[in-house]
Amino acid sequence: MLINPVSTLYFLIFEAILQQVDGNILGPYILGNSTGLSSFWVIFSIMFFGALWGAVGWVIGVPVFAVVYALFRKVSDALLRKRGLTLETGVYEGLAYMENGEMKFLGDQASTRFNAKRPQSNWKRLLHIGKKLSADAKKRTFTG
């Protein structure tokens, strides 16, 4: 360390990068593969349960979250099967809503809700009120 401080600096930088990659990418990826959770949910569960229960939460957070996640998945799969819908999540990408058992996707111009007359936006209303107030100010009257 005292003989070659530049090598020491390189080693410290390498070690910091290695720890970040291991802790934030590699560890959650490996742990996620064994629990069935994505690395995002692994990090989320460690942070959430760690904040909730401290060091104990760090240890039991991922297994507890994996159980909760599995329960939610089973319930949602059962509800989808009950309605006769597919379990493939890619089918629902871009889905806006379902009407009479038919899937309506975002931007579907044949959709009744897409073509429904929509009320004026708040900005148009505010612009209208502003113009009205401006005209009243010029006339020095107030029409309310």
Give the predicted TM-score (pTM) of the model.
Answer: 0.51
Domain residue extents for the chain: 1-87, 94-144
What is the DSSP secondary-structure string of 28-83?
HHHHHHHHT--HHHHHHHHHHHHHHHTHHHHHHHHHHHHHHHHHHHHHHHHHHHHT
Please report, in tens digits, the pLDDT of each residue of the chain (144 residues total).
678 888 888 989 989 988 888 777 777 777 667 777 888 888 899 899 999 999 899 889 988 999 999 999 999 999 989 988 888 888 888 888 787 778 878 776 666 555 555 555 666 777 777 777 777 777 766 665
The confidence score (pLDDT) of residue 43 equals 87
CA nearest neighbour of 80 among 60, 58, 59, 98: 98
